Structure formats: C-alpha cells, structure tokens
C-alpha cells in the first residue's frame, strides 16, 4: 500500500480551505483567500510562512527568483489559484517549486471553482 504523504496535516489544510470557500464563495482575488486561510491556520496553531522567496541556480549560475505562496509546517507547499480551471502548467510550476525547496508535497488549491479544487502534487 502506498504511503499518503502528510495525510493528517493535508486533511486539516483541506478542511480550512473548504471553510474559507464556504464563507467567501468563488469571486474574490487570490490574496483574499490567502489572508482567510492564514487567519484560520493561526487560529488552529498551525505553523506557516507566506510569500516565501527562493532562488534557483544551476551549476552555480543564477536562474531566477521566485516566491512560493505558502509553506505549512516546513512540509507542504501550497499554491493558491483563482482560475477557471487548473492546467498542466500549474502542476509543472508546483513540481519545480517542490524540487527547488526540497519539499515532499505540494497542494494546488483553486478557489474559483465550486466545489474547491485541490490537487496533491508529490515530489
């Protein structure tokens, strides 16, 4: 049987995001969902950091600066979206970020659709 990466923490994050969408609906900007998720995570005592800056290098050469939307408990990368549908590019972006940050799991969370769309992306 395959291990579910960070099963319990993922479950809590999913619940928080569903609460946020149930309260705010689907029409807000990404930053509003991020703020609401942060408020509930703080209330639950879950450690998180938002707008996490990181750089990518290849063989010592600078490739670029990036920002991850959120990292929860130094374990799970969350990429927030408010788009009509998620694409392969969203997934590829999350995979690149996971590799660069050396994290095992990413969640792409799309608040624009109802019900909430969450894609788990393992590294």
For residue 80, what are the β-bridge partners?
Answer: 109
Q: Which residues of 1-123 form beta strands (DSSP E)? A: 48-58, 61-72, 76-81, 105-110, 117-122
Domain ranges of the chain: 7-122
Could you list the pLDDT tens digit for every one of the 123 residues in the chain? 568 899 999 999 999 999 999 999 999 999 999 999 999 999 999 999 999 999 988 888 888 899 999 999 999 999 999 999 999 999 999 999 999 999 999 999 999 999 999 999 999
pLDDT in tens, 84-108: 999 999 999 999 999 999 999 999 9
CA 47, 106, 34, 49 torsion-angle sign: positive
Give the Cα separation of 95 and 25 in Å (integer): 28
Helix, strand or coil, per DSSP, at residue 71:
strand
Report the pLDDT value the prediction gives residue 71, as an integer from 0 to 100. Answer: 98
The CATH number, out of the four listed (3.90.1570, 3.90.550, 3.30.200, 3.40.50), of the domain defined by the range 7-122: 3.90.1570
Report the pLDDT value the prediction gives residue 67, as an integer from 0 to 100. Answer: 95
Give the Cα separation of 59 and 54 in Å (integer): 16
């Amino acid at each position: 049987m395959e291990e579910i990466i960070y099963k319990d923490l993922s479950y809590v994050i999913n619940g928080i995001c569903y609460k946020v969408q149930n309260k705010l609906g689907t029409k807000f900007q990404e930053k509003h969902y991020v703020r609401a998720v942060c408020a509930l995570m703080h209330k639950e005592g879950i450690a998180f950091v938002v707008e996490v800056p990181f750089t990518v290098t290849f063989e010592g050469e600078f490739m670029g600066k990036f920002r991850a939307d959120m990292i929860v408990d130094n374990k799970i990368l969350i990429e927030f979206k408010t788009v009509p549908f998620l694409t392969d590019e969203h997934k590829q972006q999350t995979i690149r970020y996971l590799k660069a940050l050396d994290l095992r799991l990413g969640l792409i969370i799309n608040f624009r659709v109802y019900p909430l769309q969450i894609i788990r992306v393992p590294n």
